Amino acid sequence: MSRVRKGKMTKDNYDKTLSLLTGVLDYEKFKSVDLAIETVVENVKLKQQIFAELEQHCPSHCILATNTSTIDLDLIGEKTNSQDRIVGTHFFAPAHIMPLLEIVRTPRASLQAVVTMLDVGKKIKKTPIVVGNCTGFAVNRMFFPYTQAALLLVDHGMDVDKIDQACIEFGMPIGPFRMTDLVGFDVALATGMQYLENFPERVYKSMLIPLMTEDKRTGEASQKGFYKYEGKRKASPDPEITSYVEESRRISGATPDPELLKIDNSAIAEMVFFPVINEACRVLGEGIAFKASDLDIASIFGMGFPPYRGGIMHWADSIGARRICTMLSEWEMEYGQFFKPCSHLLERAAEGLPLVRTMFVHTAVW
């Protein structure tokens, strides 16, 4: 109805669209479906159970898709014999605003399944990219350091609101903490555990979100998160989070860094986004993303990266791999291995080569 109220859809079209939906309480009507998309919470066992049931009740040609944002598809489908028709279809929140559709293909997924999902993306007016399979896939994996870098800065003395404002000034629609409040702490914790299990050596282990969750501060839905909320999503700074920040610092052993507090908003944005570039280089180096331009498109359409900067990789090349490596190495010495430059980025920097023009040869048959 919000689209009707905003004049983006007529009431007749709304009623017609709604009439096409049918609610069911069992799998009886799944015998004739061509596409089944699962959208439950990030719980591996629950997703495995659902896919085993879908395989049993859906026709053999039905594509089985999951809207997981982080969980490896091989893990989700390991209790089925249908890996050839299992794909990821990751819509980005809020789905009615973000135009990206990330289609995840495992080595065992059929070409037909991918082509069908590309057609679905076109019909629902999304911009699709096809990526490989791993924890977080291309986009969420690339951006998981975004919030983690912000949490590290808070543990070392910086204010939540200052970091968010620096990211907004950089061109993001909202900052990392406001974004975490929007998606909810339950999602943040679930995805964080996936990254911790799969990439433990480069996850910054902040206790701030777990501590707040214990006191039922779970984001915008609970009216309290990193901000407090009144009315229509109006966020305002909340001095109550100071006690959680102090406890998080105590547990992590971090102390406020006076020099860090002197840096300007431009430098804050670099400390938040250079780790994103670093992870994007890993995604490219591993062949999870097939070309740098896919990550540029994904960063803009999926994560709200400012379009006028050309996308995350284009922006990286405007700075230069050498400078990015130099800064990451300095921060690694000061704040730990979270900032350690990856081998792909180090190689490009050493050779003086740009990141965007990287070409890869793949053995997969398309």
Q: What is the pLDDT of residue 363?
A: 44
Task: Output the pLDDT for position 357.
Answer: 58
Query: What separation, in Å, do the N-terminal and C-terminal C-alpha atoms of the chain show?
Result: 41
Structure tokens at 264: 């300007």
Sign of CA dihedral 149, 155, 158, 161: positive
| pLDDT on residue 230 | 86
Give the separation between CA 47 and CA 74, rounded to whole angstroms: 12
CATH topology of domain 16-133: Rossmann fold (3.40.50)
Q: Could you tell me which residues come within 8 angstroms of residue 56 by beta carbon, excluding any fewer than 6 positions away?
A: 27
Task: Determine the pLDDT at residue 68.
Answer: 86
pLDDT digits (tens, 9 = 90+) for 329-366: 999 999 999 999 999 999 999 999 998 854 444 444 44
| Per-block mean pLDDT, blocks of 10 residues, the chain (366 long) | 79 88 89 92 91 95 92 92 92 76 94 94 92 92 96 97 98 96 91 90 94 94 93 86 96 93 96 98 93 94 95 97 97 96 95 73 44
**Domain segments of the chain: what residues?**
16-133, 139-351
CB 101, CB 122: distance < 8 Å: no
Architecture (CATH level 2) of domain 139-351: Orthogonal Bundle (1.10)
DSSP-derived 3-state class of residue 129: strand
Question: Which among 57, 90, 344, 362 is annotated as catalytic?
Answer: 90
Determine whether 61 is an active site residue: no
Give pTM, 2 decimals. 0.89
